[in-house]
Structure formats: C-alpha cells, structure tokens
Structure 1
Amino acid sequence: MKKNIAVLVGGYSSEFDISIQSGNVVYKHLDREFYTPYLVHITDNRWFHIDNSEKKHSIDKNDFSLTINGNKIIFDAAFNTIHGTPGEDGLLQAYFELVDIPQTACDFYQATLTFNKRDCISTLKPYGIPTATNYFLNKGDVINNKAIIDTVGLPCFVKANKAGSSYGVSKVNQEEELLPAIEHAYKEDDEIIIESFLSGTEVSVGVIQHNGKDIVLPITEIVSENDFFDYEAKYEGKSQEITPARLSKKDTEKVENLALKVYKTLKMKGFSRSEYIFHNGEPHFIEMNTTPGLSEASILPQQAIAYGITLKELFSGAIEACMIKKKST
C-alpha cells in the first residue's frame, strides 16, 4: 500500500518563498509508485492542504490528519522542507514527536541547537572544531565598538543569530558601518553573532543518511560575485557553485573528515549542509543548515546528483530513513 506523505512548505520566517520552491521539487520527484504526496502549507494562522480544485482543507493539529470529502487521511511521514521557524528550529520536530509521526529532518534538540549559530559553535569548540573568533550581542546590550573590534578585528561579519538564507547578514569593513549592520541584524533576530573575517576558499558540504549510512556528498566550492555568499549570491545567480570543489586531495579529505565529525558529534540525522572556509590552510566551521534548499538549483541536490543519487532516490531515502528510525524506537 502506498504511504501518505505530507510535504511541509511555508513557515513563519523570511524564507517562506524559498520553502515553497523546495517543497514543490520534493512533491514533483516523490516516487508515485510508493508514495501519495500532499503539499501541506504551514502558515501563521492555518495549516492546510489545497486540493486540485483549489479548495483548502485544514489540518487537524490534534493528530496531524486531513479530512477530504469525509475521508480521513492519516500521514505515514512528514517531509520537512520548511526553512527557518518552525521547521528548522525544532518546533515542528517536537510536535511530530508528540503526535508520533516520523519526519525527515533531524530531531528537535539538534534542530534547536544548529539553528542557534552561537550555541552550535559553543557546543562544537570543545570537540576541537575550528571556528571564527566571535562576539555575542543581545538586543538592549550596550554596543562597545572598541571591544567588538578588539575582539574580532576588521573586516568582520555581523549576523542575525537565528536566521537563514543570509538574511540579517552584513560584512563590515569600517567602524562606522558597525552600528548600521547591527541594526540590520536586529530586524531578523534579537540575538547577534559578530565573527572575525576568514580569508580563503569557501565550501559547502552535504552530509546525509542514505541506505543506512552517513554519506559525505561531493563538495561544492562557492565563488561569490558579491562581497560574500549573500542572498543574491545564493538565489539570484550572483555566484558560481562548483561541484566538485577545486581542492587538493588532502584538503578534500580534511573537510570531509571535519564535516562527518560535526555531523556525528551533533548526533544528526537526515540531510545537512554545512559551510566551511579554508583559513590558513585549515577548514573552519561556519554554520549548519538542517533543512537545506532542495530546488533543482540548490547545492545539496547538485551534490547528490554528482554522487550518483537521483532526486527521486534522495527523497525516497529520506522518507525510508525516518520511518526505519521510528520502528527502531
């Protein structure tokens, strides 16, 4: 019997439209021989499915079920393509654990931890994971330009702590740019991380669970036309994404081993895509995305195809992995 799969799209953040793109690709490529997919929109005021006649059917949040024409549909699994809150910060993961429905992303604690850039870096540092030097600010804190610059130097990056797709990120070259960058970041989050500038090759590394194994996918080198890998570079063609990356065998092994160590240290499952910069010859961890973009042009699907995994196989593998995990618990 075919399994009913809820493909979750939308969310409550600035990444709403990007999530719709990812979800539509998953919906398109799910293997209809084994799955019956339903696009489920998660919005601030309603969770719903739109049928072929454009009618909206509300999701019953008590058990995450759907009723269409008197027929109650129980979902076998949820495919999480929501970037930002509530799909990437642990809220939906916790909900699905409570209603006992497997979902394809990592567990709720890992989602909460990795979505919080400051907490994730602080967790990884004791394990010897190299990172940039950083300085933390909360909204309402006194802003001491000298203390910030003495700590991280110039240029530096100012980032919203809990945001994705480079929303709320600025590169600061001069001291007078610091306050406007902080104000920009506060529009996305009430917590900020300020990081030292790391000079070197930037790469993106996908690690997934597939056929019962943790797999490091071919590495992607990021060459941005802009000052850094910002929103334009990610989504509006202002960058080159070169897969496999133009790295030596030694550097490839370094960042593969580091990415796998990060994945295992955080006890991850499902898809992840982490960013690293080779600074002084060593890869430094920047951040991890636990519901990475899944459009045909997104990095992780490119990497999977380069590895030899089709999108149909990639998405089927994610569903089967989360369902196997449920059976084993």
Structure 2
Amino acid sequence: MKKNIAILMGGYSSEFEISIQSGNVVYKYLDKDQYRPFRIHITKDGWYYVDDHDQKHNIDKNDFSVLLEGTKITFDAAFNTVHGTPGEDGLLQAYFELIEIPQTSCDFYQAGLTFNKRDCISALKPYGIPTATNYFLNKGDAIDSKAILDKVGLPCFVKANKAGSSYGVSKVKKTEELLPAIETAYKEDDEIIIESFLSGTEVSVGVIQHNGIDTVLPITEIVTENEFFDYEAKYLGQSEEITPARLSTEDTKKVHDLALKVYQILKMKGFSRSEYIFHNGEPHFVEMNTNPGLSEASILPQQAQKAGISLKELFSNAIESCINQSK
C-alpha cells in the first residue's frame, strides 16, 4: 500500500518562492510506485493541500489531515522543504513531533540551533571548530563602529542572524559602509552577526544519512563572479559550482572530516549542507543549512548525483529514514 507523503513547501520568509521550487522538485521525482505525494503549501494565511488543478484544500492543524471528497486523508510522513521559518527554525519540527508524524529534517532543537548562526558557532567553539572572528548585535543595541571594526577588521561581513539565501548579507569594505549594512541586515532579523573576512577557497559540503550511515557527499567548490556567494550567485547563475572541488587529497580529507564531525557534534539527521572557507590552509566553518535547496540545479542534489545517488533514491531514502527513526 502506498504511503501518503506531505511535501511541505512555502513558509513565512523571503525564501518562499525558492522553497516552492524545492518542493515541486521533490513532488516530480518522488517514487510514485511507493508514495502518494501531496503538495502542502505553508503560508501565513493558512496551510493548504494544492491539487493538480491548483485548487486549495484546507489542512486541519489539529492532526495535520485534509478532507477530500468526504474522505479524511492522513499522512505517513512529511517531507520538509520549507526554507527559513517555520520549516528550518524548529517550529514545524516540534509540531510534527507533538502530533507524532515523522518528518525528514533534523529534530526541533537542532533546527533552532543551526538556524541561529550565532548560537551554532557558540555551540561549536568548545569543540575547536575554526570560525571567523565575530561580533554580535541585537536591535536597539548601541552601535560602536570603532569597537566592531577593531575586533573584526575590514573587510567584514554583516549578516542577519536568522535568514537564508544570503538575504540581509553585506560585505563591508569601508567604515562608512558599516551602518547601512547593519540597517540592511535588520530588515531581515532583529539579531545580527558581524564576521571577519576569511580569504580562501569556499566549499559547500553536503552530509546526509544514507542507508542509516552519516555520509559526506562529494565536495563542491564555489567560484562566484560577485563579492561573495550572494543571492544572485546562488540562484541567478552568477557563480560556478565545481563538483568535486579542485582540492588536494589532503585538503579534501580535512574538510570531509570536519564536516562529518560538525554533523555529529550537533546530533544532526536528514539533509545538511554547510559552507567552509579554507583560510591559511585550514577549513573554517561558516554556517549550516538543514533544509538546503533541492532543485535540479541546487548544490546538494548535484553532489548526490556525483555520488551515484539519483533524486528518486535520495528522496525515498529520506522518507524511509525518518519513518524508521520514529519507530
């Protein structure tokens, strides 16, 4: 008997449309012989099952069910492709844990921790994970530009603490650019992280659970035409993504082992994609995405295919893993 799978997409953040793309790719490639997929749009106005005629059917949030032609449909698992809140910050994860429906991403605590860049870095530092030098600001704090730049130097990056797809990120080269960059970041979040610039090769590392084993996928090197791997570089073709990365055997092992260590320190499960920069010969952790993009052109699917894992297998494995872990 086919399993009913809710493919969650949308969300409440600037990443709404990107999430819809990811969800539609999962819908396209999901094994229809094993699963009966339902596209579920998560929006601020409501949660809906969107059928093949683009008709909306309300989701009953009491038990995450939908009524179709007088029949109540419930779900065996939820495939979480919501980028940003509420799918990547722990809210949906906690909801599904309460109503006892397995979902494909990490648990709620890990989602909340990794979504908060400042907290994630702070949690990793006692384990000796190298990161940039950073400075934290909350909205309303006094801004001491001299103290900030004395600590992180120029150039530096100003980032919204809880946002994805490089929304609210600016590279600051001059002192006078700092305050406008802070204002830009505050448009996305009321918390900010300001980081020293790390010069070196940037790589993206996917780590997943595959057949019950924590698995590091082939590493991707990011070569961008822009100042950094920003929205345009990620989604509008203004970057080159080279998989496998052009790293020495030694450097490949360094970042492979570090990415696996970070995944396991944080007690992750499901998909993750983390960014690292080789600075002074050593990989430095930048951030982790626990619901990475899943379009055909996205990095993690590219890495999986290089590892010989088709999208059909990748998605089936994620569903079966979360169902088995819930038993």
TM exceeds 0.5? yes
For each residue in 1:259-280, what CA deviation from the matched residue of structure 2 results, as whole angstroms up to 9, or x when unmatched? 0000000000000000000000
Q: Which amino acid counterpart does residue 243 of structure 2 have in structure 1? A: T
For each residue in 1:171-199, what CA deviation from the matched residue of structure 2 results, as whole angstroms up to 9, or x when unmatched? 00000000000000000000000000000
Counterpart Cα distance in 2 of 1:52 and 1:249: 48
**Residue 313 of structure 1, CA deviation:** 0.2
Counterpart Cα distance in 1 of 2:54 and 2:193: 43
Q: Which structure 2 residues correspond to residues 120-269 of structure 1 after superposition, within 5 A?
A: 120-269=120-269
Counterpart Cα distance in 1 of 2:53 and 2:147: 59
Counterpart Cα distance in 2 of 1:55 and 1:169: 37
Instruction: Tell me which residue corresponds to 1:270.
Output: 270
Whether the 8 Å CA contact 2:168–2:185 is kept in 1: the answer is yes
- Percent identical among aligned pairs is 79
Counterpart Cα distance in 1 of 2:171 and 2:253: 30
| Other structure's SS at 2:326 match | helix
**Residue 51 of structure 1, CA deviation:** 2.0
Counterpart Cα distance in 2 of 1:50 and 1:238: 33
| Other structure's SS at 1:293 match | coil
Q: Which amino acid counterpart does residue 136 of structure 2 have in structure 1? A: F
Instruction: Indicate the RMSD between aligned Cα atoms, in angstroms.
Output: 0.5
Counterpart Cα distance in 1 of 2:17 and 2:50: 17
Counterpart Cα distance in 1 of 2:82 and 2:313: 20
**Residue 53 of structure 1, CA deviation:** 3.3
Counterpart Cα distance in 2 of 1:28 and 1:54: 15
Q: Which structure 2 residues correspond to residues 1-329 of structure 1 after superposition, within 5 A?
A: 1-327=1-327
Counterpart Cα distance in 2 of 1:312 and 1:53: 24
Counterpart Cα distance in 2 of 1:220 and 1:51: 36
**Residue 78 of structure 1, CA deviation:** 0.2
Counterpart Cα distance in 1 of 2:57 and 2:148: 51
Normalised to the residue count of structure 1, the TM-score between the two structures is 0.99
| Other structure's SS at 2:31 match | coil
For each residue in 1:89-118, what CA deviation from the matched residue of structure 2 results, as whole angstroms up to 9, or x when unmatched? 000000000010000000000000000000
Q: Which amino acid counterpart does residue 138 of structure 1 have in structure 2? A: N
Counterpart Cα distance in 1 of 2:310 and 2:52: 27
Counterpart Cα distance in 2 of 1:55 and 1:152: 51
For each residue in 1:205-247, what CA deviation from the matched residue of structure 2 results, as whole angstroms up to 9, or x when unmatched? 0000011111000000000000000000000000000000000
Q: Which amino acid counterpart does residue 121 of structure 2 have in structure 1? A: I
Question: Stretches of 4+ moved more than 6 A in 1?
Answer: none
**Residue 54 of structure 1, CA deviation:** 2.9
Counterpart Cα distance in 1 of 2:176 and 2:98: 48
Counterpart Cα distance in 1 of 2:276 and 2:128: 15
Counterpart Cα distance in 2 of 1:263 and 1:53: 40
Q: Which amino acid counterpart does residue 272 of structure 1 have in structure 2? A: S
Unaligned runs of 5+ in 2: none
| Other structure's SS at 1:254 match | helix
Q: Which amino acid counterpart does residue 38 of structure 1 have in structure 2? A: F
Counterpart Cα distance in 2 of 1:94 and 1:259: 25
| Other structure's SS at 1:180 match | helix
Unaligned runs of 5+ in 1: none
Counterpart Cα distance in 2 of 1:167 and 1:232: 10
**Residue 65 of structure 1, CA deviation:** 0.6
Q: Which amino acid counterpart does residue 42 of structure 1 have in structure 2? A: I
**Residue 325 of structure 1, CA deviation:** 0.3
Q: Which amino acid counterpart does residue 70 of structure 1 have in structure 2? A: G
Counterpart Cα distance in 1 of 2:296 and 2:191: 32
- Between 1:164-173 and 1:43-52, the stretch displaced more is 43-52
| Other structure's SS at 1:287 match | strand
Q: Which amino acid counterpart does residue 128 of structure 1 have in structure 2? A: G
**Residue 56 of structure 1, CA deviation:** 1.2
Q: Which amino acid counterpart does residue 23 of structure 1 have in structure 2? A: G
**Residue 295 of structure 1, CA deviation:** 0.1
Q: Which amino acid counterpart does residue 274 of structure 1 have in structure 2? A: S
**Residue 50 of structure 1, CA deviation:** 1.8
Q: Which amino acid counterpart does residue 62 of structure 1 have in structure 2? A: N
**Residue 256 of structure 1, CA deviation:** 0.3
For each residue in 1:250-304, what CA deviation from the matched residue of structure 2 results, as whole angstroms up to 9, or x when unmatched? 0000000000000000000000000000000000000000000000000000000
